[in-house]
Amino acid sequence: MSQNSGPQNDQSDDLFLQEMQGVKPLQTPAKVELRKGDIDKVSAAARRLAATDEAVRTDPNFLRTSEVKRVGPHDVLGFKRPGIQDGVFRKLRLGKYEIEARLDLHRRTVEEARREVFRFVADAMEHDIRSVLILPGKGDRNVADPALLKSYLVHWLEELDDVQAFHTAQPHHGGSGAFYVLLRKSEHKKQLAREQFSKGRL
């Protein structure tokens, strides 16, 4: 007769079964098989995302493309920073300053215009240009979103510290679809002005 048989062993089996009630076997997690091609795709996507984040962090262009206050296609608009003399602003408004450079934004997207305006102002400052003309167009043909670029341009010009003043242009320069823009005097021009002023006093 086997040593494993008998009432005591049967009782142990019953106790064991009672203890094991409700216990489920461990589930082995399903393995995800990644082929090399999948890994390459994931890595490429991660690199693109990182490059985009880095571009955002390092892009010196702070002009925003988020929603801005809208202006009308035929609105006449003006702006000047504190310290700009009324006579200077009046001369700008009347188109009396020589236009040294111009930027035409017709048929540009908001993002394209954002880049071009930022670069244009930076280039003008680098070349000692003070009086420019920027033409966003009236935007009166855009029924769904009139004066879109004009609205953004007004917002951007106020954001740019190098812009001292701007005003809607005279009709022969584009009227309500264009702006005279007066830029800050460069350090070079300030030095020249100081020298001329000093000579005048001698």
Look at the pTM and tell me if it is higher than 0.75: no
102 part of a folded domain: yes
Q: CA–CA separation, 85 vs 18, rounded Å?
A: 96
| Residue 132 structural domain | 78-192
User: Is residue 111 in a domain?
Assistant: yes
Cα–Cα distance measured from residue 158 to residue 120, given in angstroms and rounded to the nearest whole number: 15
Number of domains in the chain: 1
- Domain annotation covers residue 107: yes
Residue 126 makes CB contacts below 8 A (sequence gap 6+) with: none
Q: Is residue 73 part of a domain?
A: no
Q: Is 8 strand, coil or helix?
A: helix
Per-residue confidence (pLDDT) for residue 122, from 0 to 100: 95
- In order along its 202 residues, the chain shows pLDDT tens digits of 445 555 555 666 667 666 667 666 666 555 555 555 555 555 666 666 655 455 445 678 989 888 899 999 999 999 999 999 999 999 999 999 999 999 999 999 999 999 999 999 999 999 999 999 999 999 988 888 899 999 999 999 999 999 999 999 999 999 999 999 999 987 766 677 677 777 766 5
* 37 lies in some domain: no
Q: Which amino acid type is present at position 33?
A: E
How, if at all, do strands 131-135 and 101-104 pair?
parallel
Q: What is the pLDDT of residue 194?
A: 74
Determine the pLDDT at residue 55: 45
Q: Looking at residue 195, what is its pLDDT? A: 76
Identify whether 181 is part of a domain: yes
Q: How far apart are CA 103 and CA 81, in angstroms?
A: 22
pLDDT the model gives residue 11: 64
**Residue at 151 is within a domain:** yes
pLDDT, residue 64, reads: 85
Q: Would you say residue 6 lies in a domain?
A: no
CATH code of the domain in which 168 resides: 3.30.1370.110
For residue 179, give the DSSP letter: E
